[in-house]
Chain A
Amino acid sequence: MATTDVLGARIKRREDPRFITGGGNYLDDIKLPGMTHAVVLRSPYAHARIRSIDTSAARTMPGVLAVYAGQDLAGVNALPCAWAAGGVQNNLNTPRVLAIDTVRWTGDGVAMVVAETREQAVDAAEAISVDYEPLPAVVDAEKATAPGAPQLHENAPNNVCMHWTVGDAEGTARAIESAEIVVRQRIVNQRLIPNPMETRGAIGRWDPGTDEYTIWMTSQAPHVMRLLIAAFVLGVPEHKIRCISPDVGGGFGSKIFLYADMVLTAWASKQLGGRPVKFVETRRENYLATTHGRDHITDLEVAGTKDGTITALRVRTKANLGAYLSTIAPGIPTTLYGRLLSGVYAIPNIYCEVDGIYTNTAMVDAYRGAGRPEATYVVERAVDLFAREAGLDPAEVRRRNFIPPDAFPYQPAVLIGQAGYGLPYDSGNYRPALERALEMAGYTNLAAAKAEARARGKYLGAGISSYIEICGVAPSKWIGLPGEGWGAGLWESANIRMHLTGKVVVTTGSQNHGQGHETTMAQIVAAELGVPFEDVLVEHSDTQGTPFGYGTYGSRSAAVGGVAAQKAALKIKEKARRLAAHMLEASPDDVVFEAGRFYVKGSPDKVKTVQEVALAASVGYDLPEGMEPFLDETAYYDPPNCTFPFGTHVAIVEVDEETGAVDLVRYVGVDDVGRKINPMIVDGQLHGGIVQGVGQALWEGAVYGDDGQLLSGSMLDYALPRASWLPTFELDETVTPSPVNPLGVKGAGEAGTIGSAAAVVNAVVDALSPFGIRHLDMPLSAPKVWRAIHASEVQS
């Protein structure tokens, strides 16, 4: 392949040979000499006082090396909340690595056993006796704020952690009062359990010789973990801690955060004189104690004119944050939610209020899309509710309210953050994606398709979702602002070294856990340097040997990390050009670069390849005055704005009147993610994203009993999408490059999830419209749909 074609090519992934042969190296595959095994004993109660813990029997069991309870770690700080957005100030409550006096959710860790084998540790954990005094629990965000509800934290009366608003309250109220049409609806965005196929874990090893810690972790952000552990938890300086993410088996947000076991294993290794300590969650623990996502109760009001113009949207949301604040929890239902409520529409009045609530449940934090799927679900349900009330085609209402293509950059008022710092939508052209999706879905023949389905005893429905995503989450100036963001930047970095033989090693601060960075970053650098793709190696995920990076989430690795790699390549090229000029005895200004070759302007036969230049730089005995040897450059990239991919998805469903079962018969998506580095990988990201949103719409949901027991606590009880439940997707694209970054990329990791839940729910509600049903909450399980049909007054 010509090196110039490498960017944008469907290149097979670099990382695959090890995974398809069983050669991956995931956390639980790591075996170290002297390894010990840790098991955490977790609270069976959602809320209880710990009267006492007796570990004496456990300590004497075979193979047991140590048993620790919360008191033993009283000198270790609680885990930090790094993103105290949304006005969280005096009531910030974060978990300790092991609970001391009180447990606040089922799964809260109370003790840890370290033994020679995992089985021995499990047996010993069972021998620990904890005397609990159970307390009343509350799991629902609305009930938690009612008078008389059990209280979780003294500093958070009524369990309210934060109250956050965005938009124009008065203007929105006036617009709603004076509107021709107003629709009000309560919608619930249910709690989800992320479920990466690899559970979480950590291995800690303290080196007695150097007093250094190495922590292997299933993390999407090893650099940030090191920073947090050093600065906030262990009080050990950064240069004494090395964090390594080996191959990581998916994350979807749940592996961004700092978890107790990362600290516990490192701390315990030191207590044990340096023996490594391994902790790997069981799936049941993953359900109980790794973060969950979503869990919003929202009252929405949408208003407009009879001809279909939306004039106002008012949203009041109660966001359930769980028992404590996870690492970036407050930022999700505020900055990443309320600020996206304009969707793809020019809505003149928007107001949103969010209450963040503590409950006796697992912590809620980012899950694929993180706030943006919740916002899109609100907006796209609101548009359909409004269209229905106005008696208009939902497609037509979308057309009428789209931000027009000549309005970009477009600044929605809700995206103007504190201190007046606004993020305009970078580029967009929403109508072509809608029209293409409708055409593919056969939308104009919908009536005939419905009639045909009716003849088979089915109710067919079509649902549209025109979504927008905030990708490339970065600008430090925005995300760093205390109150708005997290008091730190979100830039990314990359280093490139071009070795003597012309082979290239890229190290990136981004983290790969399935997204294909080893391939796409190599494509970017190979294209820029004009070297063969095969000659570029990408290294990542080890704080020793890679430059700092904030990690992989928020669809930001291409638009931020990828651009950092490109910038580093440009620096290499610039230095190489100066050296090439020296070698060609020309002025640097006269030397041009093309496809891996430097030549003198006007005499294309006087050539030095980039590899020849790398060799000269490396041997370094004949360099221009003042030039340092070797081609080795690091770049940091902090973009001026986020990127805003968009698209329209159309779901076609059939509902069986007899059983209420919903069959997703077709799924059409037209996505615009800007320029693509590797379209094959982008398609894969979209596919997986779509299924996570479809899963939420139809099957998934975390369920707690009123006593705080997690009823959906295993893969038997939590319905993950299966291959046979899904059709083959029909995807197409439009391409509107982003002007924000030189690659023109936007991002794709979360787009599918953001668009799909609303498309499916809109389709089911459309199918059920003959019964007068105008809304149902997810998941749209057969019993729920059946009951709704049978409760309906209207018999079709």
Chain B
Amino acid sequence: MTEAITLVVNGVHHELEVEPRRMLVQVIREDLDLTGTHIGCDTSQCGACTVLVDGQAVKSCTMLAVQADGSSITTIEGMANDGQLHPLQVGFWEKHGLQCGFCTPGMIMAAADLLARNPDPTDQEIRHAIEGNVCRCTGYQNIVAAIREAASLMAAGGTSAGAAG
């Protein structure tokens, strides 16, 4: 038995038939082939699967696809605009905010949510905002620096993180 749902993902409209038990992350990765969103755990702890649902960071492994019906979703693949990297992507690249890259999409999405709410966060606010995202490689040092960098790029360039969401 499947249910019909509608999702707008990275600006593209999708009509989908999904089993009610399928998680949003499965639909994103398997049905839509957007494999930038990762799965790192089975207890909603790691944040590797974080996407924006109607502008808010959500762990897509904890949301059923049917719950997302009608919503607008941004994944890491939707962050760059016309080949122009999002300031967070620039920040992560500039500040070496990633090593293996596995946590990175989720980190960037969690940070996008933060910067939309708080365009000029302190280091402590950044650290709290990404508490639900585990990175095993970087020790978070350069992730904090990357998000700070993105905040100043956005302040300088007037780009709002909300635009991505």
Residue positions of A touching B, CB distance < 8 A: 12-13, 15-26, 28-29, 31, 195-199, 247-250, 252, 282-284, 513-516, 680-681, 683-685, 687-692, 714-716, 720-724, 726, 728-729, 752
Contacts of B108 in A (CB 8 A): 20
**Do A691 and B36 touch across chains, with their CB atoms under 8 A apart?**
no
Q: Is the CB of A722 within 8 A of B134?
A: yes
B65 within 8 Å of A by Cβ? no
| A-B CB contact pairs (8 Å), 28 listed | A12-B94, A16-B92, A16-B98, A16-B101, A20-B85, A20-B93, A21-B36, A29-B29, A29-B35, A198-B40, A199-B40, A247-B101, A249-B40, A250-B100, A283-B40, A283-B46, A684-B96, A684-B137, A685-B99, A688-B99, A692-B136, A714-B41, A715-B43, A723-B128, A724-B124, A726-B139, A729-B139, A729-B141
Kindly state the separation between the CA atoms of A20 and B41 in the bound complex, as whole angstroms. Answer: 20
A23 and B46 CA atoms in complex are apart in Å by: 20
Question: Is B131 a contact partner of A724 (Cβ separation < 8 A)?
Answer: yes
Q: Contact: A691 with B139, CB < 8 Å?
A: yes
How near does chain B come to A707, taking the closest CB pair, in angstroms?
A: 22
Known contacts being A283-B40, A691-B140, A729-B139, is A720 close to B134, with CB within 8 Å? yes
Q: How many angstroms from the CA of A198 to the CA of B140 in the assembled complex?
A: 17
Q: Are A720 and B42 in contact, CB atoms less than 8 angstroms apart?
A: no
Majority secondary structure, A binding face: loop
Could you mark each residue 116-132 of chain B with 1 if its beta carbon is under 8 Å from any beta carbon of chain A, else 0? 00000001101110110
Q: Please, which residue of chain B has its CB at the minimum distance from the CB of A756?
A: B139
The chain A residue with its CB closest to the CB of B130 is A723
Contacting residues, chain A, for B105 (C-beta < 8 A): 22
Chain B residues in 8 Å Cβ range of A715? 41, 43, 45-46, 134
Q: What 8 pairs across the A-B complex have the smallest Cβ distances?
A: A22-B36, A19-B101, A249-B102, A514-B100, A691-B139, A715-B45, A514-B99, A22-B76
Within B34-73, the residues touching A (CB, 8 Å) are 34-43, 45-46, 48
Residues of B in contact (CB 8 Å), total: 54
Which chain A positions have C-beta within 8 A of B3?
A: none
Contacting pair A250 B46 (CB below 8 A)? no
Q: Which residues of B contact A514 (CB under 8 A)?
A: 99-101, 137
* Min CB–CB distance A276 → chain B (angstroms): 16
**Complex alpha-carbon distance, A516 and B97, angstroms:** 12
Residues of B contacting A12 in the complex (Cβ-Cβ under 8 angstroms): 93-94, 96
- Give B contacts to A, CB under 8 Å: 29, 33-43, 45-46, 48, 75-77, 79-80, 85, 89, 92-94, 96, 98-105, 108, 123-124, 126-128, 130-131, 133-144
Separation of A723 and B146 alpha carbons in the complex (Å) = 13
A248, B100: Cβ atoms under 8 Å? yes
Q: How far is the CB of A712 from chain B (nearest CB, A)?
A: 12
Report the bound CA distance from A349 to B104 in whole Å: 48
Q: Report the bound CA distance from A723 to B132 in whole Å.
A: 9
User: Which A residues are CB-close (under 8 A) to B133?
Assistant: 723
Set B41, B98, B123: member contacting A19, Cβ < 8 A: B98
Q: Of A20, A198, A722, which one neighbours B100 at CB under 8 angstroms?
A: A198
B19 to chain A, nearest CB (A): 9
With A19-B104, A22-B105, A250-B99: A197-B131 Cβ-Cβ less than 8 Å: no
A24 and B96 within 8 A (CB)? no
Looking at the assembled complex, report how far the CB atom of B140 sits from the nearest CB atom of chain A, in whole angstroms: 4
CA distance A18 to B140 in the complex (A): 20
Chain B residues near A252 (CB-CB < 8 A): 136
CB <8 Å contact, B77 and A26: no
Q: A22-B75, A516-B99, A729-B141 are in contact. Are A250 and B136 (CB under 8 A)?
A: yes
Q: Give the docked Cα–Cα distance between A684 and B136 (Å).
A: 12
Among A252, A516, A688, A728, max chain B CB count under 10 A is at A688
A24 touches B40 (CB 8 A): no
In the complex, what residue of chain B is closest to A280 when comparing beta carbons? B39
